[in-house]
Structure 1
Amino acid sequence: MVVRNADKDRYEVFYGSDLAGFAEYTERGTETVFTHTEVDSAFGGKGLGSKLAAFAIRDTVDRGHRIRPECSFIRSYLERHPEYGAHVTGVSDE
């Protein structure tokens, strides 16, 4: 299960009842800046990072926000999913 925890400015992925990882972000107006993503090594190999990224990106787009991927994990996910390109900002500037 993946949820947006707006109180902590992050998306969280759970494996059963255990918090397995998160993607931190900051919001600047209608831009969501992803700053850091991690999945605990105890949960590696289960595809949780991809589920986390997919949910976070879809939710950001659904909320009408643009995505700024400062986090290398989110940036990598977006490179593999060009269908979100119209919603991404800041990549070609760097």
Structure 2
Amino acid sequence: MDETSADQGAVRLVHDDDRDRFAALEGETVVAVLAFEDEDEVRDLRSTVVAPDRSGRGIGSAIVRFALEDTRARGLKVRPTCWFVRGFIERHPEYADLLEDPGTTPSTT
């Protein structure tokens, strides 16, 4: 697992590069994942899944923000294949500069 991590309350966010995902952990239990694939200079954020018993606690938003910050730090662009990531970027335009095609809105990518 990548050493990059952040605490979100009782949840620890990690970049699990070996599995092409970001993960949210409570203790050692994975409670959410955001799957991605890096293609040249673009990170395709493909799928966000939060354990049903953990939904509504902001874990999905936290893992997306963490992934977007990691993507920015690596100098990559984003392809928001995942509907949740697209919606997050729409609600947080400070991440719109990361879009693979900045001329489009996340809802049309």
State if a TM-score over 0.5 links the two structures: yes
Name 1:32's counterpart in structure 2. 43
State the structure with bigger RCO (CA 8 A, min sep 6), 1 or 2. 1
SS at match of 2:100: coil
Please give the root-mean-square deviation of Cα atoms over the aligned residues, in Å. Answer: 1.4
Distance 1:46 1:16, change over 3 A: farther
What is the CA distance between 1:40 and its match in structure 2?
0.7
Name 2:33's counterpart in structure 1. 22
Q: State the one-letter code of the partner of 1:47.
A: G
Name 1:59's counterpart in structure 2. 70
Unpaired segments of 5 or more residues in structure 1?
none
- CA deviations 1:5-58 (Å, max 9, x no partner) are 111000001123311010001111111001111001011121111110110000
What is the CA distance between 1:89 and its match in structure 2?
1.8
Q: Give TM-score scaled by structure 1 length.
A: 0.92
Identity of aligned residues (%): 30
Name 1:8's counterpart in structure 2. 19
Contact 1:69 1:90 in 2 (8 A): no
Contact 1:50 1:77 in 2 (8 A): yes
Name 2:99's counterpart in structure 1. 88
State the number of aligned residues.
94
Contact 1:26 1:35 in 2 (8 A): yes
- Structure 1 segments (4+ residues) deviating >6 Å: none
Unpaired segments of 5 or more residues in structure 2?
1-11
